[in-house]
Chain A
Amino acid sequence: MLSQERLTHLKQLEAESIHILREVVAEFSNPVMMYSVGKDSSVMLHLAMKAFAPAKLPFPMLHVDTLWKFKEMIAFRDQRAKDLDFELIVHSNPEGIEMNISPFEHGSKTHTDIMKTQALKQALNAGGYDAIIGGARRDEEKSRAKERIFSFRDKHHRWDPKNQRPELWNIYNTATDKGESVRVFPISNWTELDIWQYIYLEDIKIPSLYFAKEQEVVEYEGTKIRVDDERMPKALRDTAKKETVRFRTLGCYPLTGAIASSATTLPEIIQEMLLSTSSEREGRVIDKDQEGAMELKKIEGYF
């Protein structure tokens, strides 16, 4: 007998995500997918390719470049765009460039606000997108557990956590007025473990930063960060030591903590993850600013 029981949990999650992506393209006139180059983005890109095969991606990929990303991420991004032949839009906040914003000098809060949150708003306003597909997962952080899959935003990209549309079955309300938009999270129901298992099973390409290797790191604000370029203050750079580390998440290199690890393959990464006693977000400096930090950032329009 054919039944749902024959689809594994990953195949069910995959089908659900593809359904969501197709719903976006069918219902919105100007969608865009956020591309952060990390593992979740890589899975999203893979799902989107599957959803519309044999056609090409029917929407552009948008990367908000804070100009402090790991160098390898940028090279990886450009190679993917070339190989898969998708439209890539890259935006950096010109005001931030002018002010020469640096996480080392201006702090993570200011840097994130100007180069990420403001830059994102600029890019979204410029593109006039009515649906913005993001890679957030509900298991990442407590305030995300209540986010809808289709999350409504007003004209100012603001999220009202207490006034969300009910979301039932697999029926998504896509109605918006001009100027309003919807943030769509196709991998809401995936966990970090699901993501890694799927990458492993589907052989999805990801940046090598996820794998352990010997590299130069320094101690900075309680985490280990990689010496990725010359912009790191010299005094800090002088404290660099070679260590075998890898990254659980990818972002701006001064804000992304490395973990000591010897995992050089996907099974080893998964094994390490299963034994881990700290959550994925611990490596992200921004969450520690204050309690409920992510909730406040999201209300302001952060992804």
Chain B
Amino acid sequence: MDIMDYLKEHENKDMLRFLTCGSVDDGKSTLIGRMLYDAKMIFDDQLAAAKSESKKYGTTGESIDMALLVDGLQSEREQGITIDVAYRFFATDNRKFIIADTPGHEQYTRNMVTGASTADVAIILIDARKGILTQTRRHSFIVNLLGIEHIIIAINKMDLVNFSEETFNTIKASYADLAKELGIPHTYYIPVSALNGDNVVESSTSTPWYQGKPLLGLLDSMDIAKVAKEEDFRFPVQYVNRPNLDFRGFCGTIASGSVKVGDSITVLPSGKSSKVKSIINAGDTSEAYMDITTKEAYAPMAITLTTEDEIDISRGDMIVHSNNLPRVSNSLKVMLVWMDDKVMEVGRNYDIKRATSVISGSFTHINYKIDVNTYKRTEVDSLALNDIASCKMILTQPIASDAYSDNRLTGAFIVVDRISNNTVGAGMIIGVSRRDEDVNKLATKVYNDAEKGLNSYIRTHFPEWNCKKI
């Protein structure tokens, strides 16, 4: 193909992010290494490095250990495991792929949650000799919890069960029960051998009974378009751009839906309304034309909006269509994944970052903790690392929010410890209360100028007090 045709074709590629779940023994790194290798994404020098490392750490004898093409940190290579989330990239003529490669052991649940948060599709590896294991239940629960609707079940090591169709079908049937139990909407099953490349990039001659596509072909063609709530326009205000007195633009990334010039909009939580005056799609601007405007914009464009009226809008607010308002409340029912060694204490104050807003809040009650392996619910008083629980969250100010199942970007939040500054938890909004709770007790005080001045003085001159900005 001529290079100009190639460029033309590749201008119109789309993007798919997927997650691979499995433990070191399932051949997950081997599968990814195989995909990159067979898709010709591995360069000669990288292959040479993997060859020399294979002799040192490899587990495959004389042949190249595909896993070493992808296992990144030196400490991991020595231990032969993947301990963190690694992101890898490759492309076909249709799509660019971003792989989140995460560890599968229970102690790394938080890493898998992290990888799953941005993925559209999950690949769950099952060892054909072992079938569905506790970890399969765990991985499936987590990817479903994080809202991934498409799950590919790669039944690996088919070479070790003589490519038996019966084995494949038995595993497929038992996974279908699991998918039903969890309510996973779309499942796909593929018999593979990552080690030898069967049904990874090329269809295998060893599985004539399998009529489906090989893994790469499936990833390349699957339809991941969301039918979810496209009509809900949600625009979390990220930054107020005010280069001069004549221009006041509200920058942000459209979380869902679309917006047009002239649309009636409402700012939440204040409830003030106006109309869209102009839209700058950052993607359209160029060095020569920095003020180019557009009539309409849609998710996930990064845009700048201006409004007809001078209304007070700041970072953390959400702009929505006036005829399609999300619920506003400070009382939320959430699913919380705890990610820190220090336990989550009921009633303790944390900073909750949801989209672009940071508001302090606390978990006032743990409804139940859910076991990721058995899905059993238990009552607990605190949460430890990797615990997943349904909780009641009360914020010091109300926010406009959607359920995570309706909107992945406005229904998700992270929990930041106010002393260590670490990200200690991640949560998904399940439901929003109709009324504010304890709002009088918890509502943020309105500060006068003298109080604001004092706060600013302390922050400037006594930074070691770690005084919070009001």
| Contact status B230-A3, CB under 8 Å | yes
Q: Which of A203, A267, A279 contacts B43 (CB 8 A)?
A: A279
Please, how many angstroms separate the alpha-carbon atoms of A188 and B17 in the complex?
Answer: 14
Query: Which residues of B lie under 8 Å from residue A173 when comparing CB positions?
Result: 353, 414, 416, 421-423
Is B441 an interface position by the 8 A CB rule? no
With A168-B113, A292-B74 known as contacts, the answer to whether A7 contacts B301 (CB < 8 A) is yes
**Of A16, A18, A189, the contact of B87 (CB 8 Å cutoff):** A189
**Which of A56, A162, A279 interacts with B75 by CB under 8 Å?**
A162
> Which A residues between 1 and 58 are near B, CB-CB below 8 angstroms?
1-16, 18-19, 22-23, 25-26, 46, 49-56
Chain A residues whose C-beta falls within 8 Å of the C-beta of B74 in the assembled complex: 143, 291-292, 295
Contact with B along A162-180 (1 / 0, CB 8 A): 1011111111010111100
Q: Is B44 an interface residue (CB 8 A)?
A: yes
* Choice from A3, A14, A139, A144 contacting B226 with Cβ under 8 Å: A3
A172 CB → nearest B CB, Å: 8
**Is B291's CB under 8 angstroms from A53's CB?**
yes
- Contacts A49-B290, A53-B291, A55-B243 given: A143-B73 contact, CB under 8 Å? yes
Min C-beta distance of A292 to chain B, whole Å:
4
Contact, CB under 8 Å: B258 / A15: no
Q: A8-B13, A19-B238, A49-B287 are in contact. Are A197 and B7 (CB under 8 A)?
A: yes
Q: Interface majority SS on B: helix, strand, loop or mixed?
A: mixed
Q: Contact between A171 and B3 (Cβ–Cβ < 8 Å)?
A: no
CB distance from B247 to the nearest CB of A (A): 6
Neighbour of B230 across the interface among A2, A9, A53, A268, CB < 8 A: A2
Contact with B along A109-151 (1 / 0, CB 8 A): 0000000000000000000000000000011001111100000
B453 → chain A closest CB, angstroms:
18
Q: Within residues 330 to 355 of chain B, which ones have a CB less than 8 A from any CB in chain A?
A: 339, 351, 353-355
Question: Which partner residue on chain B sits nearest A148 by CB separation?
Answer: B85
Q: Which of A2, A142, A170, A175 contacts B258 (CB 8 A)?
A: A2
Tell me the count of chain B residues lying within 8 A, CB to CB, of chain A: 90
What separation, in Å, do the CA atoms of A13 and B15 have in the docked complex?
9
- The tally of CB-CB contacts under 8 A between chains A and B is 227
Q: Is B4 an interface residue (CB 8 A)?
A: yes
Contact check: which of B49, B73, B339, B421 meets A177 at CB < 8 Å?
B421
Given A7-B300, A139-B89, A193-B91, the answer on whether A276 and B283 have CB atoms closer than 8 Å is: no
Per CB-CB distance, the 5 closest pairs between chain A and chain B, nearest first, are A55-B243, A175-B421, A18-B302, A292-B74, A9-B15
23 contacts between A and B (CB under 8 A): A4-B300, A5-B14, A11-B283, A12-B300, A15-B282, A46-B287, A51-B251, A138-B87, A145-B101, A146-B85, A168-B114, A168-B423, A170-B253, A171-B354, A173-B353, A177-B421, A189-B87, A189-B89, A267-B7, A277-B43, A279-B45, A279-B46, A282-B43
Interface residues of A (CB under 8 A from B): 1-16, 18-19, 22-23, 25-26, 46, 49-56, 84, 138-139, 142-146, 161-162, 164-171, 173, 175-178, 188-189, 191, 193-194, 197, 200-203, 267-268, 270-271, 274, 276-279, 282, 291-292, 295
